[in-house]
Structure 1
Amino acid sequence: MSVHYLPSQSLLSLDSFETDYRNTHFAAKTPIVIDNGSTDLRYGFATSGAPFSNPNMFSKYKDRRSGKMLGLFGAAAEVDGPSRGAAKSPWEAEVLLNAEALEGCLDYAFLKLGLDDDSVSHPVIMSERFCTPLANRRLMSELLFECYSVPRVVYAVDALLSHAYNCPEPSAPQEGLVISFNTSSTSVIPFLNGRGVFNQAKRLPWGGSQASEYLLKLLNLKYSGFPTKITPQHATWMLHNFFLVSSNYVDTIRQLKVPSSLSAANIIVQFPFTITVYIIGEEKTEEELARIAERRREAGRRLQEQAAKVRSEKMLQREQDLDNLLAIRELRSKDKKSDYAARLKAEGVESDAMLDDIIKKLQTSIKRAKRKEEGQEEEIDAETTFPLVDVPDHKLDEEQLKEKKRQRLMKAAHEARQRAKKEKEREKELKEEFERREEQEREQDFQSWSLKMRRSHQEVMNRIKERKKRRAQIMDRKSAVSQTRMKHIVNLADEVPADKKRKKAGAEDMFGENDDDWLIYRQVSLENASDEEEEDLATLTTIESKLLSHDPSFTTADTYSAITTRRSALMSAFRPKYEEGDTEGIHRVHLNIERWRVPEAWFGPGAAGVDSAGLSELIENILKSFAAEERSRIVKDVFLTGGPAMMPGFTERLQNSLRPILAPDTPFTVRLASDPRIDAWKGMASFARSSSYTDASTSKDEYFEFGGERTKRWWGGNWNAAV
């Protein structure tokens, strides 16, 4: 799988403006040919071999440093942020609207051709869209005749001139079906008896710009967290270099359902990235590493010794405190009550009961610490007494009543711990008994045991699957489960108890008094019980470990994790996952199914959200409007022109689309222009050199007499729209 890198943006170089045109073209008044495309502006003299070509973009903005107004054309309009923000194209989709941008583009074109005078004395042949609105033609005529003083102008439909240039027999009447792929649309024009039948022509509102936008949407959806910005220019570059038209889209998608086929179809586009380099010190020798390890061990030993010393000091302090308290308790019967109470107060003890409790806790703590140092297990059943619990309240004073309450709570907690301990022991015994019986069953009848375990394994997986399915259905507001949930919620909100009417204000919420309320709550709950899910996963792990240990036919490929991974292999093939630290990997775009999905929009625009018939349906509707004899003449030459037609597979796909809608014995040919991008300019240049140019042109005097909407009727123009 090869990796393709985005083309680097080279530094902007200034165009040279040649001056030797005066000797070669000025004296002969060679016509100027301008192909005014919405993507590129191609211009040159009719006798030139190839045109100049620049992006049809003009930017007029004020430079902050010099304070002057600047005008930039073509790629220069993208030089920096201010110029890029002010850049405009003369075209808005299929309509020519921005007169200022158009004038700036034409200024550059004429200067590039050496025409630096106040007027342009050369005739001009200008391309225009099929069925151009009269207002667009009026705008163009006003610029050419009034601003540049052009003597003559011919308006030509680019697709028709491209077809004429590629006609195998120039002397024969041109007939066929011209399919022109433009930036914002695709036109299908039938051609009979040397002229276009415009009243039967169709236009598809899908072109190269829509395809690039569609690809950009798909990539932004697929790579929502992409670390860098994917621009429309990037999408256009990928569209021109890596995309294919499938001869049978359904079969192609079926083949791509296999993860290996999808991975093989991957095209990797590497976006620019920057690797952060961390300077690391010199590598240490083995002796230095050994000394470092020894220092760490020595530090660990010192920490252990310090911890042991602290524990020993704490133990000694607790023993001293215990001896002191025991000595005070021995003086209980010997000292006076006042002296004894003073001793207790000096130690921070309020009563005899509190003294006994402190002594007991210290004895227990010291005993536990000594057993831990000796490595012995802690005693399970420690002697615990609660002497005041069974004593009647009238025999106790106020302090003893408080102590009795505390002992009652301690006794309840102690009994609860004992019950939990016995319950754990009982569960342990039951588990051991269950495992013993299961082992016995496995030894007696292994096949039955294995079948039982596999059935349990499948049941648990089905529960997990149903839980995930239900969660997905609940998240979909149009699903039946989600709608049922909303109905339950509405019913609960509107429910009024039959035995107790609600008041208009301050009504009491009765939800929860009936057990059915909680059943409905479980039905409408968005989240499933996490305890059940964790329990199922734990059960699944236990079953799989037993089957892996005892059943040779059960392998890791049969486990839940392996099955889940296998099912998600297709998703992984769409977009492989890279590790978090892989900077190069996370800056990659994997093109696979998009390579066929985006071009398919020409044949099924509905998949891209365009309410229109596809290219095959348009062709079928056009052919139905002609008689059988005319239809056979048209399909003998199905001609493709325009940049998107260069995608591999377009010719084969149209052949497959035409075969079902034609009679079985009808011969037809689908061919591509020799150079779909500039053949329109070459066709106009060839016509400008012919003797028919003057008859098809509109002079400056005719413009002032009839207006800018007027044009001559000729085979290569929008003559059906002429007045």
Structure 2
Amino acid sequence: MPFISQIERQTDYSLFAPTRPIVIDNGGSYFRIGWAGESDPRVIFRNIVQRPRHKSTGETVSVVGDHNTALLKYFDCTRSGPRSAFDNNVVFQFEIMEYILDFGFDRLGVDSLGVDHPVLITECPCNPVPSRCRMAELLFESYGVPSVAFGVDAAFSYTYNQRLGNCDKEGLAVCSGFNTSHVIPMPERNLPFVLFVEGEPVFEACCRTNVGGYHVTDYMKQLLSLKYPQHMAKLTWEKVEDLKMEHCYIAQDYAAEVKLYQNETKEAEEKTRCWQLPFTPPPVEEQPSVEEIARKAAIKERQGQRLREMAEAKRASRINELENELRGLEFLLRQVEKVDENDIPAFLSDTGYVSKQEIESSIAKVNQSLRKAKREQVELDEKADVTTADKFPLVDVPDNMLTSEQVVVFRWCYMVVMNHEWKELKEKKKQIFLKTTAEGRQRARQKRAEEELLREKQNQLEEERRLENPELYLDQLRTKYKELSEKVDQKKRLKTNGNNSNGNNTSGGVGRGERMSAAKKERMRLLTTAAFDRGKGEDTFGARDEDWQLYKLMSKDNDDEDEGPDEDETELTRISSRLQAS
């Protein structure tokens, strides 16, 4: 069975006489402490220390052992893994050892006055003298123990079994620890493989190999990870250690055991163990009741109403600020109009404005923001929120009524320029072009929205037909796909070979005129007609500016069939995707 941590604090410490020794088994894997004369230790825990930080407060704490894994979820252990005080079987980190002894004595019931009992503590064979001195110093100085005795656990075990009659005075003891194993390869006095002579251990003949229980567990973990790579994350070292301690055994005859499993006998099946990884089934989601749905809907509606009220209050505050700013700018503009033009810069020196035009521009911006805040109808793709009459004021004015005063009103930058009427006419043409462009973009957006709505409606109708009769729907799709494929292939052949459908091409190839589409032929005809339409057959096309207007006539319909896929190819692609999805 695997070791189980026992960390309950003992309450009978004061009942033991001061002469009763405290026994400590200071192993590389587990720390055990109890009273001499009892068959089992009182306290058992892993001989490791962690110092994680609390996730909320950032405070560093010391956690001894691995008994409180549920508590560690509140701490950040990424920067502080478990640390041991041992290097193989020798204690060398006495700061960590002090944390472990503090916890062990506290769980045994020792109070803050110190330890008033003799202490017997185990150590590895041939323990270095500096390590033993530091351990004795720690016990004497920090805990005030009256006396300390060190011993090897293998010697204690041999003596105990000798008293029980399980072994003689002379024999061999093999101590396999967590990181190391100790044996005697060649003892003295010509006694083969004897560790104990006349009941006394011969430590000067002891040897050590750095192979122990840790390496067995690690090797088993590697084998399980290679055999079950899909469970590598769950096959932790601790779980594999539990498997080893609970289900594994030491073979008396290794070769016979291997042959037993190779032959797949019934005894091998009885010794085989199946172990189930911890499995937590996913939680079953229960459908909410009608009352729960109604309650959540009411909560959502209240939250939405609260958000709408907050947005309305924010919008009202914004409108109030803009109206105050607009009134202030209008008042400043009226004051500027009363001031002489030469004195305007001095008058506006303290206001942050430098000219009357800047104030007017600020008023226009504030008006724009105010209308936007009041949720007037605006174009989503236009930054300026103004009406057509305000944006293009010269569009509806006849050409013969354009005057120099209107230039001053609408384009004040032309005040000091000659030929006001010509500049007004030029400005009017510019505004007409901008207005036409804006209206064209609006029509294009509306057309795209209508096409999108039509596509959604068609997709919905197709989905209804598919659900109503899937087989008929697939047959219709395949038939339509075949027809469109033939049609597209025919178009491509005509585009490559021209319109010579009778096949009487005597030249054996395809001429340039036959490869040209109808749109290209029409463009070539327009260019040829314009070039030689001068009466004398001379090619003077391009000498005048009016000649270049021909290119606008050529591209206004945008009928070049080489620029992108036609409707049949688009429909063919859509049907192909529908067939793949079905």
* TM-score, structure 1 as length reference: 0.38
Q: TM-score, normalised by structure 2?
A: 0.46
Please say which structure displays the higher CA radius of gyration.
2
Structure with larger RCO (C-alpha < 8 A, sep 6+): 1
